[in-house]
Amino acid sequence: LWHVGIIANDQGNRITPSYVNQLTSNPENTIFDAKRLIGRTWGDSSVQQDINKTCSCLCFGSCFSEIVDIGGGQMKTFAPEEVSAMVLTKMKETAEVTHAVVTVPAYFNDAQHQATKDAGTIAGLNVMRIINEPTAAAIAYGLDKRDGEKNILVFDLGGGTFDVSLLTIDNGVFEVVATNGDTHLGGEDFDQRVMEHFIKLYKKKTGKDVRKDNRAVQKLHREVEKAKRALSAQHQARIEIESFFEGEDFSETLTRAKFEELNMTPKVMKTKELLLQITKTFLKQFTTRFSIIFSHDSVKMKFDLKAILSCGIEMLFDHMESRLSFS
């Protein structure tokens, strides 16, 4: 009998980050945000935008790889698929599985889908299907179990990207009618704006530019991210960093009002335009009413989008296994 649930990792957490404290102690050899690189070419404008944020050293040929120091003076290159495979390998070991359904953002193209599947293969997984994250969210909410045709709007503001997707569900069959979004609008981008604010403030007070020290920048990044999370439940948060830069400590306060002021950018305001744009596309084809995932009442509840997506994957996997026989 199948039971849908999230498997905790070896530390008892239901969510496993792709990188943790290594970034502050060894920023030059820590790769992150590989999701923004996978399946893309060197000339892609999105890749060029992320070059200075993702890894200290990228090389390129027909494709590109990250170069890191693995110790003993040895340098090794890793393709984005290999980096993603390392994360998937860890999850495979935690869950003790050989088959998997993997979710990807709705905006992923065919090359990104294939690269993600390749990462699963490298990790030793039999990737049964690649599905869009909005579809996984809809499955987790049980929307595929309702009778009749349903039209659903999924608003996904994540750690690195923003997606709005419109789906139709008819007898358990999903179709993505329209999708729009921004690959550089998410929690990471909010963090970067707050960091820039404090870097400028620190320079104004001390005359020192912390950008010269990558470790100091990553320490600030870590603490800013913590403060951002704290602001979900309180109106202000302290950011304290010992030996921040050249032996000096860092101590500042971030208020929720300041956070909102820093991030109320044209890009954020554009989310309203994207919603209107995608809804117009939708309404040209349909006249029926549609549901919105994460509606007003749902937003008041505590939920974890990553957990929701995982539940959706498990439900789909359960449905698929009932039709398959694994050797």
pLDDT in tens, 142-201: 766 667 788 887 878 888 778 878 888 887 777 888 887 777 788 888 999 999 999 999
Domain residue extents for the chain: 19-133, 147-184+265-319, 187-260
* Tokens at 316, concatenated: 């789909």
Query: What DSSP element (H or E) covers 271?
Result: helix 266-283
CA pair distance 215, 37, nearest whole angstrom: 23
Specify the CATH number for 147-184+265-319; select among 3.40.50.2000, 1.20.120.50, 2.30.30.40, 3.30.420.40. Answer: 3.30.420.40
Name the least confident of 60-74, 175-189, 199-213, 228-242. 60-74
Q: What is the CATH code of the structural domain delimited by 187-260?
A: 3.90.640.10
Pairing assessment for the beta strands 162-170 and 173-182 based on DSSP bridges: antiparallel
Claim: this prediction has a pTM higher than 0.75: no
CA angle 133/138/139 to nearest 5° reads 95
* Tokens at 178, concatenated: 């329209």
Q: At 67, is the secondary structure helix, strand, or coil?
A: strand
Q: Are 304 and 15 in contact (CB under 8 A)?
A: yes
- How confident is the model over 294-312, as a mean pLDDT? 43
CA pair distance 32, 18, nearest whole angstrom: 7
What pLDDT is stored for residue 137 in this prediction?
A: 81
Maximum CA extent, the chain? 67
Band (60; pLDDT cuts 50, 70, 90): very low
CB atoms within 10 A of CB 11: 6
What pLDDT is stored for residue 36 in this prediction?
A: 74
For residue 319, pLDDT over 80 is answered with no
Q: Can you say how many angstroms the Cα of residue 221 is from the centroid of all Cα atoms in its chain?
A: 16
Radius of gyration of the chain measured on its C-alpha atoms: 21
What pLDDT is stored for residue 143 in this prediction?
A: 63
What pLDDT is stored for residue 250 in this prediction?
A: 97
* Tokens at 228, concatenated: 């951002």
Q: What is the number of residues in the chain?
A: 327
pLDDT in tens, 7-56: 888 888 887 776 655 666 676 667 766 777 788 877 777 766 766 555 54
| Mean predicted lDDT score pLDDT of the chain | 76
Query: What DSSP element (H or E) covers 95?
Result: helix 80-95
* Distances, alpha carbon 283 to alpha carbons 15, 166, 213, in Å: 37, 10, 51
Query: Nearest CA to 201 among 257, 246, 258?
Result: 258
CATH class of the domain whose range is 19-133: alpha beta
Q: Of residues 269 and 156, which shows the higher confidence score?
A: 156
Identity of the residue numbered 308: I
CA angle 82/86/89 to nearest 5° reads 125
Are 19-133 and 147-184+265-319 in the same CATH fold? yes
